[in-house]
Amino acid sequence: MGIIARLFNRNKEQSSGKGVEDFISLTRVYFQSVIAVNLGITNIRFIPDVANFKRLFKIPTQGGRLGLGEKSASRKMLMNDYGISENFFKEIDASVKKHCRTQAEVQSYLFLYQGFSNDLMMLVGNLMQWKFRVPSIFKGALRTMTEKTVHDICTKTVWKKDDVHKTAMAVRQYKERLGYSEQWMTEYVYNIMMLAKKEPRNKDNNAEKK
């Protein structure tokens, strides 16, 4: 929740920036909005990220249903600011519909998704170390590299390092349980990678100044 807290503690002008935290936070808002709409959740405290998003951007409640307006707004931001595809949202919708049929299942689902996201990004970062230094202007090449890495994670059975093998197997189990495709994983990872490439320079410069 640290990422979410930092995002929503910013002022409104800062929150419009296109960064890794903003992207991940908007994705979480979309997830929670879909859950709220599907289950008819009326207690906004059950979906804290949506509550913060609603308050920050003054999203009106549509048709008396919590999550409907927030789902539409977060989806629009993700598409307009990050170029996210329609299929990305369709897979989230299908996964949530299948695995979150009751409120009791929601926390378990979100816990699994968080583990999936964390392990996937950690593994990709390990496997694509030098490739992260490829200039952002070579977007096509970076997208292809990301796609290949994700495909390897989902299909390769033997890895040289035990920790890599263990994490890859965990990611594949998460993938099967949650129902996400390689295409969805590639789009998620690629966007985070491209956004992250824009941020380290400022952090490094600040570190050098200290």
pLDDT digits (tens, 9 = 90+) for 177-195: 999 999 999 999 999 988 9
Q: Over pLDDT 70: what percentage of the chain?
A: 84
State the Cα–Cα distance between residues 3 and 79, nearest whole angstrom. Answer: 21
State the Cα–Cα distance between residues 112 and 15, nearest whole angstrom. Answer: 27
The region of weakest confidence among 15-24, 43-52, 102-111 is: 15-24
> Per the domain annotation, does 96 fall within a domain?
no
pLDDT, residue 156, reads 95
> Per the domain annotation, does 116 fall within a domain?
yes
196 neighbors 20 (Cβ within 8 angstroms): yes
pLDDT, residue 134, reads 75
The region of weakest confidence among 12-21, 46-55, 93-102 is: 12-21
> Per the domain annotation, does 89 fall within a domain?
no
Task: For residues 11 and 61, state if they share a domain.
Answer: yes
What distance separates the 2 farthest-apart alpha carbons in the chain?
A: 55
The structure tokens listed for 161 are 């390092």
Angle at 108 between CA 180 and CA 55, to 5 degrees: 90
Q: Which residues contact 102 (CB under 8 A, 6 or more apart)?
A: 39
Q: 120 to each of 47, 108, 165, 200, how far by Cα in Å?
A: 24, 18, 12, 20
> Per the domain annotation, does 91 fall within a domain?
no
65, β-bridge pairs: 62
Q: How many domains does the chain have?
A: 2
pLDDT digits (tens, 9 = 90+) for 77-125: 999 999 999 999 999 999 999 999 998 899 899 999 999 999 999 999 8
pLDDT, residue 196, reads 85
pLDDT digits (tens, 9 = 90+) for 129-146: 867 677 766 788 889 999
